[in-house]
Structure 1
């Protein structure tokens, strides 16, 4: 009897010990989870660690072996296509572009392929629209069948564009840019453009009416310029080290793409709508160590336009920007205006923004036609030299294409800036405008120092804006309830 009791006692002690250990582990996990929730930057670290890296076979497929000629004149579209197909068919690897100038039409990537440019390699993209076949793409936040992006991948996994060579779209005011209808880009009355009655607005109208994407066929005669690099519905992707110049339209466009790293890329393109990077309906996107010198927003986080955005209904989230340099552009890091599906969990840190031709540092732009919920935007450790208009602009009344009002009142909330140093902030430190029924709310500026700015702020329908240890024109700023 005493032996049985001894065994039972030992079992009880063992089970009690296991229970304590399990409870202890659960408590630790709870603490970690709670810590990540309470500290957004720890949450950012977890997202960064979760993004898988691309991995490729060490097989190399030199495009010269597939008939490519580096004279800058011979069209090498078929050579690129053959090398990529061969590489993919054999389990993947590197499609290698050696030094020299290679003219080509659209390049379509396959899974497990890394398009790698040698240091002095330059890919010149054709200026003939016929070299860009009609594919399922997107234009200003509306899905469409249109000219293929210059480099395109759809439904692919484990893909990359790498190397220190140059991708040259060759766009200027004598070709693609003139289609914008902008007088600064060569357009004159009588020249066809995207603004003609059957072009841009027809596409938007088709989307509002719910016409299937397969029936929104544009291309020839519609003058909607192609994006430069577009990864559409892809997973595990990398763009690293390349230099990109003279783009027809948006430059880096991950759409419905998850787990992508953009690292060490230099963008220098001053054409119309030349956004540097436009993640759209995408998640877990890391943009780091890049330089953006652009004709439009340096980085513009998107989530679809109007009815099309609400149809797709995929918010962009977990977008991380680290150690980047922004020079010319409408904004350094911008959210919108194609924003209808919403954006959340954006992290920006350790960036330098400086140019008399940079309008704003951080900007959110939407309106009651776009709608969208934009929340949880975290910014820290910025060095801002000069911006034209303001350091932080949050605008629910963005209007650029005529009437932009509707029944979709947007939400902007939970925006934080900390450790930001600004030499010349332009007109306002903060410009924020909301609706009475939907004020811009919960804006926090901590240790923000703006040496020079014309006016402290412009606030309309703003709720709970805090200035903590922040100074503008050498005066400490008080919070506004």
Structure 2
């Protein structure tokens, strides 16, 4: 591999000064203080009481439905799932004030018959519509949790996996409805459209906790938080390698903590989104106030913002994480000129990566798509104490749009041991560098021979 040697000194055009750092610390504290863990009543019941059997044969879907109804009558409670394999042919729909607790050795395996999953309000790649219910789903619920050392298995490698090549018709229709401002109630998909459901999704909800469970084999995105607030996602483990198996997707949501998560996904580990095109721009629901810390990344991309971010993304704080394995991209901010909206006030610090294709990639020209009518504004980005081993393509790409330049991006303590290509900046303003080394750090110049 060709070596590239680059060291960039301090530019004082734009810096994050001590007051701004203090404000960042205060902002993180305020975000964490605004997040409430769910309030669950003391009522506890085993799923076995309602006829479930962990024998890997019996359909336990009716038992989960009865357990949720019992908790509704009791104003909430904990549904305990003992050790065993529970087949569930259809979705588990949450009610408020419920903790679904999977004990160690418990495994919920969802069935693969689409007709078992009724249509519900959801979002598919940033467009609100009605589609097959996610396998665990809650709409307009408060104080809900999924906890314990058990496993949630979406069985996504079978029939659902065959839908990926067939989804184009439904995907394009959903985008046309978005652009044409078709009423959401008339965006009815399901049979014949092949839009795969998410594994876990909460919509228009608050005070949500997902903790410690293992998630595997999702048909589509794994955990999707949509139009919700006060979210804690921690200690989750992943083994999800189907197409589009994002680990965590945060969309139109705020006040979120993601910590101590062990990712192993075939797609984005964390993707922060805020709606596609007209849906997003008209929603007035940015994704904001998100704290990401102490996670282990492994998959396609580690930390992604976009490309569906039309309502805007603001106040994202990622710190003290590490990655393993080969990633296509480490940090990836992406949008195009159909989106509009903004990405701003993003602070990414103390992240250790191994080998990647591209280290940092920020683009306003994602996939070269876009009408040019709705460029996005990307600004106020800090990348501090970020390191990479080898980069097989490019260390830094910052690609703005001619009339909407990416601005105020600060690289401070950015180390890449080796890279095929160093840096591409286009349509940018006030991109600054301090202690940036790509290749071998240079010191005293060699003497003339």
TM-score normalised by the chain length of structure 2: 0.92
Q: 1:476 to 1:455 in 2, by over 3 A?
A: farther
| Structure-1 separation of matches of 2:264 and 2:287 | 24
In structure 2, the residue matched to 1:434 is 400
Matched, 1:417 2:383: yes
Q: What is the deviation of 1:46?
A: 2.0
* SS in structure 1 of the partner of residue 28 of structure 2: helix
What's 1:22 paired with?
A: none
Displacement of 1:56 after TM fit?
1.5
Matched, 1:341 2:298: no
Q: 1:144 aligns with which of 110, 115, 129?
A: 129
After superposition, the Cα gap between the structure-2 partners of 1:37 and 1:449, relative to the gap in structure 1 and judged at 3 Å, is closer
Structure 2, gaps ≥5 residues long: 1-17, 444-449
CA contact (8 A) 1:385 1:422 kept: yes
The Cα of 1:39 is off from its aligned counterpart by: 3.1
Provide the rounded CA distance (Å) in 2 between the counterparts of 1:215 and 1:91: 34
Is contact 1:56-1:92 (8 Å) kept?
Answer: yes
Point out the structure with the larger strand share: 2
Partner of 1:3: none
Deviation at 1:404, TM superposition (A): 3.1
**Alignment-derived partner of residue 407 in structure 1:** 373
Q: Which of 413, 430, 433 matches 1:464?
A: 430
Moved more, 55-64 or 359-368: 55-64
Matches within 5 A, 1:282-431: 282-329=253-300, 331-356=301-326, 358-388=327-357, 390-399=358-367, 403-431=369-397
Moved more, 337-346 or 39-48: 39-48
Deviations 1:391-415 (A, max 9, x none): 2110111128xx4334001111111
Per-residue CA deviations over 1:231-251 (Å, capped at 9, x if unaligned) read 100010100000000000011
* Distance (whole Å) between structure 1 residues aligned to residue 248 and residue 336 of structure 2: 22
SS at match of 1:381: strand
Q: Which structure would you say has the larger Rg? A: 1
Q: RCO higher in 1 or 2 (8 Å CA, sep ≥ 6)?
A: 2
User: How far apart in 2 are the matches of 1:55 and 1:308?
Assistant: 32
1:232 to 197, 200, 203: 203
| Residue equivalent to 1:189 | none
Equivalent pair of 2:31/2:290 in contact (CA under 8 Å): no
Aligned length: 425
Equivalence for 1:251: 222
Among 387, 409, 413, the residue aligned to 1:447: 413
1:157 to 125, 142, 147: 142
- TM-score if structure 1 supplies the norm length? 0.86
The answer as to 2:79 corresponding to 1:95 is yes
Q: Displacement, 1:41? A: 2.9
Cα deviation 1:1-59 (Å, max 9, x = unaligned): xxxxxxxxxxxxxxxxxxxxxxxxxxxxxxxxx95785313311221122111231222
Q: Equivalent residue for 2:447?
A: none
Moved over 2 A (4+): 34-39, 403-406, 474-477
Paired with 2:205 and 2:193, the residues of 1 have a C-alpha distance of: 27
- Give me the whole-angstrom Cα distance separating, in 1, the residues matched to 2:225 and 2:333: 19
Structure 1, unaligned stretches of length 5 or more?
Answer: 1-33, 182-192
